[in-house]
Chain A
Amino acid sequence: MSTLKVDVHHVTRVEGHGNIVVDVENGELTQCDLQIVETPRFFEAMLRGRAYDEASHITSRICGICAVGHATASLRATEQALGVTPSLQTTLLRKLNFHGEILDSHVLHIYMLVAPDYLGLGSVIPLAKSAPDIVLRALRMKQLAGDLCATLCGRHTHPISMTVGGFTQFPKPAELRALRERLVASRADCDATIQLLQGLEFPAFERDTEYVALHRDDEYCFIDGSIASSDGGIRPLDEYREVTNETIVAHSSAKHTRHRRESYMVGALARFNINYDLLHPRAQAAAEVLGLHPKTINPYLNAAAQAVEVVHCTEDAILLIDQLLDLGIKPEEPAAPTRMSGEGVGAADVPRGTLFHHYRIEDGTIVGANCIIPTGQNLANIELDMRALVPGILDRTQQEITLALEMLVRAYDPCISCSTHMLDVKFV
């Protein structure tokens, strides 16, 4: 086919609204965009004038699926700004809560959004009839993840009890022990998830790119850490702008980013490529089964990297619960601010990749805010993937090409509803 027009209006099975537009004329690729058509949200502007302790509750509403991630990054930014040092217990509870969200989001993505493509279905609903065991497993895993979040912070979507310096509610040891038991039992479901992915036929498309993720030397990092690139170099969090370098493009209400190359990728595959050595041994074994090694450069395999993280987070959640039980979980007052003015950057590697919150606070009131979300960072990379993919598949039918592109976009697990932040906000 030498002339092709693809116009997918509102890609389905992703968070938020995006369009794919491809135009090929006489064998020449003239247009290849992932258009972001979501309405602008203006969270950064809305944070101004707010008390510092409202920020995490407001910003969790940026995204219903990464609410814990936004709350966590927001709290860390506020704590950096106001000189708050959370206790060990708080840090452990946050990490555990975070695993709940990663598990929930990854299971949703793998089973409900990605798998139907590979099984030739439009959604997970018909699967409930044809393969009930697969659907029931996904539900069991999601329910466990949701219950984990609800136990720690009151509810999954929009956590309640996480606050600056700590928590306002604490899980009972018996609740943690019950969760631990379910996590241990969930190992069988993790294994079955790996088996499921082993059986899927991922497209053989590869494109080398730069991968960016948070990194720490002592753990597979989701909260804090530094910013690491697969092209080399580690930067402290407060230099995030040197990495993200946001630019505005006309066809997207979300800004694009670039670091050392034209674009970079964040998310499960980026974390896997950068932090592989720090994965739990069971997760490394799972990667082995899937034939996944760093550095993996097929973006469709992001779902496989997510499955590896499902194994890792399940194992690490068990370890965290053990640590919390050993420590003897106790109600404690949140750590107090040591000053009421300051500037701080907080970061979290949420299911879709690295998230930055940056606040300036004066006398307890937020006067400046900047949030950079993962999907925004991935957009330029998705487009370059599409550009590399299309010429090689022009011999297929229009329908097949469209599906390949939609699957590519979905592989990144984009969360378009929150990718509406843009500009480089200068704090003056």
Chain B
Amino acid sequence: MKPKVAFFEFTSCEGCQLTVLDTLQRHPELLEVIEIVQFREAMSERSDDYQIAFIEGSCTRASDEEKIREIRTQAQIVIAVGACAHLGGINAIRNRMPLENVREYVYGEKKDWFETYPARPLSAVIKVDAVIPGCPIDRDEFAMAVTHLLQGRMPAIPDYPLCIECKLTENVCMFLRGQTCLGPITRAGCDAICPSCGQGCEGCRGLIPSPNLGAIKDALRERGMTEEQIDARLSLFLTYQTMQMEGVTPA
């Protein structure tokens, strides 16, 4: 029997789900081996009988937690899709700012109308079985993850830094080009797509195990970045992880 698969999204841009759609279009054979029973963005049919749940987006309000737990109860396997679900993603930038100030800046005196709290990755709410990192996820990695699941394995992701992939791609290092890059502390798996396009890595795939944050900060300082700029860069995608490492709780 084909495994029944459902897709869900919480606070996100839906870019990862669009990448999933794109992957399914390019690999129609995947649709032969799984049965999609829920995918709000793409179809109106919907069933709550599923075994595998792919969840995009971070949890940014208490009222979403219940739904996330419900999905956990139903699904045998829960996969966090993309940086928002995996790391809190770009939504967590504001975790370093006083929440009241953030709310007031956008909603003014109506700030209490809209429920919110600091952005969290899925794993802060439920147990997550595997992640597909990236912002957005990589098409091939998603296809690979589905293949692994069908073989009864959990999708595996690289645990070495991006620099290794970047060297294999024969890029001239961004630091040698006078720019900056988070490759040394970022998890590989995207084929170093940003350095290959002339942009330093922003860390969207998250930190490698035991990253040397001190060394990367030194390297960024040497390139003339101020402490504020360094903090900003490290908090593009890595806010939640670095705050956890520092033992800081969001304001």
Contacts and interface: CB of A to CB of B under 8 A. Distances in A.
A160 B105 contact: no
B107 A46 contact: no
Contact of A421 (B28, B60, B106, B116): B106
Given A10-B40, A49-B232, A417 B110 contact: no
A422 interface: yes
Interface string A415-428: 00110011111000
Interface string A36-53: 000111101110111100
Nearest to A47: B93
B43 A122 contact: yes
Most B CB within 10 A of own CB, among A10, A54, A421: A54
A244 interface: no
A235 interface: no
Contacts of B31: 125, 128
A64 B198 contact: no
A118 B83 CA distance: 36
B168 interface: no
Contacts of A259: none
B97 interface: yes
A382 B10 CA distance: 24
B16 A13 contact: no
B197 A161 contact: yes
Contacts of B41: 12-15
A419 to B, nearest CB: 12
Nearest to B22: A146
B136 A157 contact: yes
B125 interface: no
Nearest to B225: A51
B16 A64 contact: yes
B193 A160 contact: yes
Q: Which of A10, A39, A163 has the most CB of B within 10 A?
A: A39
A125 B89 CA distance: 31
Nearest to B13: A64
Given A15-B14, A45-B105, A142-B25, A160 B44 contact: no
Given A44-B105, A153-B197, A417 B14 contact: yes
Given A45-B101, A64-B13, A40 B106 contact: yes
A58 interface: yes
Interface of B: 9-19, 21-22, 25-26, 28, 31, 36, 39-46, 60-61, 64, 89-91, 93-94, 97, 101-103, 105-108, 110, 113-116, 135-136, 193-194, 196-199, 202, 228-229, 232-233, 236
